[in-house]
Structure 1
Amino acid sequence: MKLYKLRWAIETNYYEQKTFWSLNAYRIRRQKGIEHRVNLVNLVHSSLKMLPYLDEHFAKYQNASPQELRSHISWQITSFVNFRGGVKVVKC
């Protein structure tokens, strides 16, 4: 049963990467690019899993999926940008 739980967690992680992080839509031709992309996605995913335990503002997401937390953060960013009247793009 322990092995099945571990395998299920791995499968869930890959499913989330493909579905919610759009990893399946990302096209890379070089192995290094693929490795960098997967590492970045895993870093973000892990960060979203840890954030509810590190910051009490997000504590209610401790038993939620990373997608729910990502959706909450995305909503906050969108409402902040809308409240401020949009984003000003500065050319360097």
Structure 2
Amino acid sequence: MAQYFNVNQLKLVSAISAEIAAQCPGIHVDSEQFNTIIAAANMVKDAYQTQSTETKTGGKQRMTPDFVSPPAPSLGKRNKCCCRGRK
């Protein structure tokens, strides 16, 4: 039996925006950046609405959409905020 989750896109957008503001106080977001935040929230929402299937051993196997890319490389010892000094 497949299990689906209804993730609230608006709350995700708000949470992502709040985290960016916490990491980079005083940052201003333009329309292109805000559209990227919305797209990211949509991707997360879609990922949780993807079907899960039962494997032959009885465990769950996640069906991952083709558009999911690998995780970004670690920033290492860089500053927590990468936007300082940018205008």
Calculate the TM-score normalised by the size of structure 2. Answer: 0.35
The structure with more strand, counted as a fraction of residues? 2
The structure with more helix, counted as a fraction of residues? 1
Higher RCO structure (Cα 8 Å, ≥6 apart): 2
Calculate the TM-score normalised by the size of structure 1. Answer: 0.34
